[in-house]
Amino acid sequence: MMRLRFTQLLLLSVTLGGSSHTVDAGNPTQFGPINKHAICDRLETAVKESPQARQLPGISTAVILPDRSQCRITVGLADIERNVPLSQKHRFFSGSTGKTFVAATTLYLERMGLLELDDPISRYLSEEPFFSRLPNADQITVRQLLNHSSGLADHVYLQEFAEAILASGTTRKALTPTQTIALILDKPALAAPGEVYSYTDTGYILLGLVIEKASGRTYYNLLDDVFLERLQLTDTSPSDSMVHRNLATGYVATEVMSILAGRMLDMDGNPLYHPGSEWTGGGLVTTPADLSRWAWMLYRGEVMEKSYRENMLQAGPPAEGANTGHYGLGVYIAQTEHGIRYGHGGWAPGYRTVMYYLPEMQIAIAVQANSDAKVDNTPSSAHDLAMALLDVLSKTLPEFIAQREQ
């Protein structure tokens, strides 16, 4: 199994010029001998020379190559005020990339016969006090929550939510799921269920409640047992508290969220807001090394024994306005010059994340930054760097790309 292969990896670390990279030795017999250090050197140079490295405090990235070896690269600072270099041990709030875990957990429950994707959510939530006030309540299915076609609004963009998040830093209490859902109650639906794609974190908060009702367990407890512990994603944990080990300091750009602009951790390393409010809208703190492994295993169909990829990759309505053509079940699906791309991005105040897998290249990549500021006037800093590194790999690994067809 993949988790066994990864526990057998040999770590070879090199530090160069204020940045660092690590090579995890992979399987040399599958693709022939590979000069992994040379490949990681090329990627490190690309990261160090990128506009993201010049304009953001810190960048951390991990790339899994077709032979399952892994390059990890960090540049910049984890804390500007204290001049702390960013290292591979530093973790980041990963925002909506956590939705990939929520979707996988839902698919696990479907595989176990505990729910059906086309069940109406009323089967699980009709007794909730808020349910009758939820737009489209009686028509929404589990699948429509997963692929953002429920027609529900997104609470994240409401001023009331921003104010509540700011207050949570003082109270040190996260918003409960019902408090979050309350922000969209009695509001008109954006569309009828199944008609259009409309991204909504609120829908994934509802999914968390469905998961807990169907399983009889808390989401985080189930997630830890089914995926995190079993797959040995040891640097990934719930963001449900105010204390997190090795957390890089995030910096919020004024143009992104003016009410929270600036440094996101106090000088003791604790967030100025309670990240637990995100819950199943994302709800994790992690590293690029873990996320790239997760992307590799998830999109290759290796995180569960029973088949789930067909359901996961079934595209919903076109995802207009996103860097993709369609949204499946917790996954963006896009055609690129390097072939089809599966993955997800994430934003949390002061942090940006992407994780991708490209099956034709047999490459998984994750990039995290501890700032959500624009780079060269575009907000997709982590995405742009990931795509730039894929360009480098497409030229550096032609023998890998040729071998995928053998």
Domain ranges of the chain: 2-89+285-403
- What is the b/e burial string over 66-82, where b = at least 16 CB atoms within 10 angstroms of the residue's CB? bbbbbbbbbbbbbbeee
Predicted pLDDT at 360: 94
CA 333 to CA 314: how far, in whole Å? 9
**Contact (Cβ atoms closer than 8 angstroms) between residue 124 and residue 347:** no
Chain centroid to Cα 7, Å, comes to 22
Predicted pLDDT at 157: 86
CB-count burial class (<10 Å; 0-12, 13-18, 19+) for 261: middle
Predicted pLDDT at 323: 55
Crossing angle of the two packed helices 288-299 and 99-111, in degrees rounded to 10: 40
CA 192 to CA 312: how far, in whole Å? 22
Predicted pLDDT at 3: 30
Tell me the pLDDT of the chain (406 aa) as tens digits: 333 222 222 222 232 234 566 656 555 434 445 577 888 999 999 999 999 999 999 999 999 999 899 999 999 999 999 999 999 999 999 999 999 999 999 999 999 999 999 999 999 999 999 999 999 999 999 999 999 999 999 998 888 888 888 888 778 889 999 999 999 999 999 999 999 999 999 999 999 999 999 999 999 999 999 999 999 999 999 999 999 999 999 999 877 667 777 899 999 888 988 999 999 999 999 999 999 999 999 999 999 987 899 999 988 877 765 455 899 999 999 999 999 999 999 999 999 999 999 999 999 999 999 999 989 878 789 999 999 999 999 988 765 444 444 4
Candidate CATH numbers 3.40.710, 3.40.50, 1.10.10, 3.10.450; the one for domain 2-89+285-403 = 3.40.710
CA 149 to CA 266: how far, in whole Å? 38
> Residue 144 in 3-state DSSP?
helix
